[in-house]
A and B are shown apart, each in its own frame.
Chain A
Amino acid sequence: MKMMKPYVWLQTSDDSIQQVEQEIAMFCPLICQEIIQKGMGSSKNCAICLPQQVSPAMLSLILDYCRFHQVPGRSNKERKSYDEKFVRIDTERLCELTSAADSLQLKPLVDLTSRALARIIEGKTPEEIRDIFHLPDDLTENVEVEEEHVDDRSVDDLLSFINGNDGGKLNILTILIFVFT
């Protein structure tokens, strides 16, 4: 293996190439593998091509995270409060960050952002969740078909299904939609 170099060249999804401290970049298992196993990143010409999910903005966020945690001697409390502040970003960026961290196999950051996303979801109705994450309301079309199928059944009817009086003909989904929306 070659001697460790202080810097490594990374190419982000917009094709721009930048130089970052190797010590920090090595925190990401994917980058680490590229360097050690393939000897990549040592120059601008053989820059490590990062996955599509990693935009320059995300890379810079991820490197901030790595830079903080790479410093030895920080207390757990310090790390925790840094993490808390770190994920106080808008939901879209949080998703983007999760996706980018996952593509770099940076598990601690994936866990952190997943927890943050879970907290966003907690206690929300399906409608609110759809609004927050801009998700399509594509279940209802399906359900209308189902409703015809089960001939105008309603929640109270579905309850008897839950309680075992029906032959299990109904899709559990239909029940859930009635009850939770």
Chain B
Amino acid sequence: MNKHQQSFTAAKNGPSPPTADQIHQRRKTPTNILSLDPDIVCTIFALLDMFDLVRCSLVCKLWNAIVESRSLREFCERNVKNSSSEFTEKPWRVILGEMVMEQHRLALLDGGFYVDQWKGHSTTVAQCRMKMGVLGTGVGDKVIRLWSLDSYKCIEEHSMPATFPLIDFDFDESKIVGLIGSHLCIWRRNGKRSIFPSLGGKFVKGSCMRYLDPEAVVGCDDGAVRIFDMYSRRCSQILRMHPVPITCLCLNEDRLIISGSTSGDIRISDPSSVQQVATLRSSDVRGIRTMCFNPSSQLLFAGSAVGCAYCWDLRTRKLLWSNRVCPNVIYSLQHMQNDTSTLVVGGIDGILRLLNQNDGNTVACFSMDDKLLSTFQSPSGSVQRIKGQRLPEDDLINIEHLVSRTDRPSITCLAVGMKKIVTTHNTNDIRLWKFRS
């Protein structure tokens, strides 16, 4: 119980008439909303929608207790009478999850934003990944770094073993897996590391790598994917997927391997049956550059070398939409885990684009303004906060001329988190685009 509430209770129960002092006190601290009866506060809360209600529950302990005591659900049932049946049948987690996604979507779509930029690597950094709110960056110099995005602090640094360059990497709570030259390297987050030659002595350049415990899958320039057991360190399978180099990979929960190639075809293989499951053809002969798979909707997204974005439904293997969204190469497209509304696309023109996952239409474009808002020190050096700008949406492809070339370095990779996007540009800067709802 807080002070206000205590004094209120005392005043209510106190039988003695107020003294002049107390009256003076009353005038100094007039009745505020805290002294309202919880029942009235409930009446007020019952008039609010879910979003406002959740915000109210975060205002202070007392309000939180009030919201929790009645449970949000009860308020909502009272509120959303018209659509209540559908609404209340959903589990609480689902409702909450949807709200969170809606917040994310709205923030990206309409919210104001700024860009925090810091020198994350000594030479260059090309790739970034985001997991559980931790950012991993690497490719370009000799280290992989993990960052806390709250403080911009580098929380871990793992160095490359030999002279081989890092090609691709990914990480989870316990380890980081990297493709280094023709080797796979596993760093335990607690410090130990192990390396093993990934390509069985025979040198074939790997171009991309994804893993799903216990297997790591490497896409190679000879058109094959090689599957490795990360624990026995052996190559367990080689699948010939394409006649041309593989450019990108996706794995799904059913352990299907989806690979994109320089020919513009995407092929799906099931390692358990050896057989090729399907081919998804794009009209783009210059090749697929990047892919991402959304397990929530079973949609596969791909970006091509001429700036087209594609979407297939993996269940029916039908092309749902394809759209030319950029004037040139798309290097990266991503969405937040479990988000089925928004896809973020970045490429050579350095402009971030937001697509609707369901129809491929561009709904927003962003770039950095040249206005520096502030500079502050983080544990890892100075961070520049730069104003972000939304670009007009009437001519979505040819908006390059609106922003000077120096203000929009090519986006080589991007990662999407809750109301935020991280981009790397093959420079030594890491940029975090933070949106407000």
Contact = CB atoms under 8 A, between A and B. Distances in A.
Interface of A: 13-15, 52-53, 55, 91-93, 95-96, 98-100, 102, 110-111, 114-115, 117-118, 121-126, 129-130, 133-139, 142, 152-157, 159-160, 162-164, 172-173, 175-181
A17 to B, nearest CB: 13
Contacts of B51: 180
Interface of B: 2-4, 11-12, 17-18, 23, 26, 30-37, 40, 43-45, 47-49, 51-52, 54-61, 63-64, 68, 93, 96-97, 99-100, 103, 130-134, 148-150, 336-338, 417-418
Contacts of A124: 52, 55
A137 B60 contact: yes
A152 to B, nearest CB: 8
A51 to B, nearest CB: 9
A163 B97 contact: yes
Contact of A156 (B18, B23, B34, B337): B337
A134 B43 contact: no
A139 B64 contact: yes
A176 B11 contact: no
Nearest to B132: A157
Contact of B40 (A110, A133, A159): A110
A71 to B, nearest CB: 27
B59 A114 contact: no
A159 B56 contact: no
Nearest 9 interchain pairs by C-beta: A154-B133, A118-B47, A155-B418, A96-B31, A157-B132, A126-B58, A156-B133, A162-B97, A133-B33
Given A155-B417, A159-B97, A163-B97, A138 B60 contact: yes
Contact of B57 (A53, A163, A173): A173
A126 B32 contact: no
Given A95-B31, A121-B56, A123-B52, A179 B97 contact: no
Contacts of B336: 156, 159
B132 A99 contact: no
A121 B40 contact: no
A95 B37 CA distance: 11
B48 A118 contact: yes
Contacts of B418: 155-156, 159, 178-179
A93 B33 CA distance: 10
B420 to A, nearest CB: 9
Nearest to A173: B64
B48 A92 contact: no
Given A110-B40, A110-B43, A180-B103, A164 B93 contact: yes
